[in-house]
């Protein structure tokens, strides 16, 4: 018996017959006590040649070799005065007619009868789904959907693809059915193509439905954009937060990758120090939001870097928090990454160095946070390369606070003392916002003070007290 997926062919051979035999094929169903003839056909040879006939269940005869589903064929062989016949019966199995049947082939020759019987059970095999709908991105940027159905029998199967938002429309698809060499069954692979722009609607779904005579009704699988069925959800890396210095620009950025289609929404939000409410950040004098460049990766997905550039203020930004929020059709809830509470530093700047008699004063400004270390030191006569710190009682510091939240100090050092030749005075400023400390060297020579800047000696100016606004009004 062989099977090509549509028809079954049964073979029976008679040999060494003294005369040409008559061949009868019969298909019956039911038990031994109650059998029902489905089909029977007889083929004989006589003086007029082959006379094929078909008998219906009622016994009426028809001169037909092929009757729809059933086809008989007999090939005669003769040798040495004896006859032989190779007879075949082909039919297309039907789940209703051939669930459990008996097939018999009878040869009648010279008053003798030879018969062979075969119990034939038509077994339906239900399609097995190998897994969920598989998706991939084509080089053209479309989405390819495919499904694999395995080990079903018989071959005919109907696979349909559809998609939409609420209302489904049929999609063009391609299905390939392959026989399994090791068993009497088939595998099917079906695929369709979906334009990428359809996936921008979060309510979009794609559905595959299959029907087979082994099933009581159609079955289906479905993918939804909103439920992440298309798997290309955005992934946010950790936020990159720069060192924040008052009066400079700070760039916050976050890389986002692995998403498809190119329908990403990015928002920047701000939370004030100690607050709960979130405020949307828009481009302004304080904020710059560079345009995102969305790059297509080798796997077809997209990536980009979201950035926010802030003009940093110690007073307003210290303790504040920035949040990058990402939305995409594949997400039920937006993704977020936060900077956490910000710590703003300010690098100190030496505004001026002045003197009042033998007292030298340095104005150090714009630093944040408040902690700062200022030391004054001097060289001994004849030892220009070694410094010793001035004792504390000779140093005074006044810490005014600026209106923008940064700090300012006036640090003074009393340098009075007899100087026969010359000495060097060093001002050293240390702060966490500085990479390396700031140092200034002042030369005291013959009762005069000079600030050394490279090869130049610049006279230290006399201190002039600044008038306050109230003094100016008077």
Give domain limits for the chain: 2-120, 128-224, 235-344, 349-459
**What's domain 128-224's superfamily in CATH?**
Immunoglobulins (2.60.40.10)
| 418: DSSP letter | -
Q: What is the pLDDT of residue 157?
A: 95
Q: Any idea which of 1-15, 49-63, 363-377 has the lowest mean pLDDT?
A: 49-63
Q: What is the 3-state secondary structure (H, E, C) of 441-465?
A: EEEEECCEEEEEECCEEEECCECCC
The average pLDDT across 223-246 equals 91
* pLDDT tens-digit series, residues 434-455: 889 999 999 988 888 999 988 8
Q: Which CATH architecture has domain 2-120?
A: Sandwich (2.60)
Q: Given pLDDT bands bounded at 50, 70 and 90, which one contains residue 379?
A: confident
The answer on pLDDT for 30 being more than 80 is no
The answer on pLDDT for 241 being more than 90 is yes
What is the Cα–Cα distance from 160 to 156, expressed in whole angstroms? Answer: 13
> Judging by beta carbons within 10 Å of its beta carbon (0-12, 13-18, 19+), is residue 166 exposed, middle or buried?
exposed
CA 226-227-230 angle, to 5 degrees, is 85
Task: Enter the pTM of the model.
Answer: 0.66
Q: What is the pLDDT of residue 44?
A: 75
Over the range 441-467, which residues count as b (16 or more CB within 10 Å of their CB) and which as e? ebbbeeeebbbeeeeebeebeebeeee
The residue ranking higher by pLDDT, 249 or 42, is: 249
For residue 133, whether the previous peptide bond is cis, meaning omega lies within 30 degrees of 0, is no
Mean model confidence pLDDT for the chain: 85
Q: SS3 for 313?
A: coil
| 96: DSSP letter | T
Q: What is the pLDDT of residue 78?
A: 76
Residues β-bridged to residue 84 = 77
Q: What is the pLDDT of residue 398?
A: 72
The average pLDDT across 37-56 equals 60
Q: What is the pLDDT of residue 418?
A: 61
Q: What is the pLDDT of residue 6?
A: 63
The average pLDDT across 283-303 equals 96
Among 3.40.1000.10, 2.60.40.10, 3.40.50.12280, 3.30.360.10, what is the CATH number of 235-344? 2.60.40.10
Q: Does domain 349-459 have CATH number 3.40.920.10?
A: no
Over the range 85-109, which residues count as b (16 or more CB within 10 Å of their CB) and which as e? bebbbbbebeeeebeebbbebbbbb
- Tell me if 314 sits within 8 A of 368, measured CB to CB: yes
């Amino acid at each position: 018996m062989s099977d090509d997926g549509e028809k079954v062919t049964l073979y029976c051979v008679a040999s060494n017959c003294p005369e040409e035999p008559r061949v009868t094929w019969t298909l019956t169903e039911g038990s031994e006590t109650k059998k029902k003839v489905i089909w029977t056909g007889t083929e004989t040879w006589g003086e007029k040649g082959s006379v094929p006939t078909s008998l219906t269940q009622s016994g009426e005869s028809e001169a037909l070799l092929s009757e729809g589903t059933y086809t008989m064929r007999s090939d005669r062989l003769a040798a040495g005065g004896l006859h032989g016949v190779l007879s075949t019966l082909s039919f297309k199995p039907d789940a209703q007619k051939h669930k459990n049947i008996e097939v018999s082939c009878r040869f009648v020759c010279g008053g003798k009868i030879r018969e062979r019987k075969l119990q034939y059970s038509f077994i339906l095999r239900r399609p097995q789904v190998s897994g969920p709908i598989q998706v991939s991105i084509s080089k053209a940027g479309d989405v390819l959907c495919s499904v694999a159905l395995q080990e079903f029998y018989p071959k005919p199967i109907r696979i349909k693809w559809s998609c939409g938002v609420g209302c489904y429309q049929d999609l063009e698809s391609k299905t390939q059915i392959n026989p399994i060499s090791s068993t009497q069954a088939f595998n099917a692979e079906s695929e369709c193509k979906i334009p990428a722009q359809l996936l921008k609607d979060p309510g979009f779904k794609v559905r595959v439905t299959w029907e087979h005579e082994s099933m009581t009704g159609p079955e289906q699988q479905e993918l939804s954009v909103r439920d992440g069925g298309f798997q290309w959800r955005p992934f946010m890396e950790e936020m990159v937060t720069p060192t924040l210095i008052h009066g400079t620009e700070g760039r916050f950025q976050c890389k986002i990758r692995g998403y498809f289609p190119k329908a990403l929404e990015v928002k920047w939000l701000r939370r004030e120090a100690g607050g709960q409410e979130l405020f949307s950040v828009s481009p302004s004098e304080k904020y710059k939001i560079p345009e995102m460049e969305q790059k297509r990766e080798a796997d077809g997905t997209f990536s980009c870097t979201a950035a926010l550039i802030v003009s940093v203020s110690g007073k307003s930004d210290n303790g504040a928090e920035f949040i990058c929020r990402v939305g995409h059709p594949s997400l039920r809830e937006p993704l977020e990454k936060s900077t956490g509470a910000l710590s703003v530093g300010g690098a100190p700047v030496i505004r001026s160095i002045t003197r009042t008699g033998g007292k030298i004063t340095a104005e150090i400004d714009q630093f944040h946070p408040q902690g700062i270390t200022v030391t004054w030191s001097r060289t001994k006569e004849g030892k220009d390369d070694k410094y010793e710190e001035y004792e504390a009682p000779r140093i005074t510091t006044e810490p005014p606070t600026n209106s923008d939240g940064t700090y300012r100090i006036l640090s003074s050092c009393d340098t009075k003392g007899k100087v026969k030749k010359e000495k060097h005075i060093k001002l050293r400023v240390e702060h966490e916002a500085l990479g390396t400390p700031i140092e200034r060297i002042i030369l005291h020579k013959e009762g005069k003070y000079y600030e050394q800047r490279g090869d130049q000696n610049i006279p230290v100016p006399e201190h002039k007290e600044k008038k306050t606004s109230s003094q100016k009004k008077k």
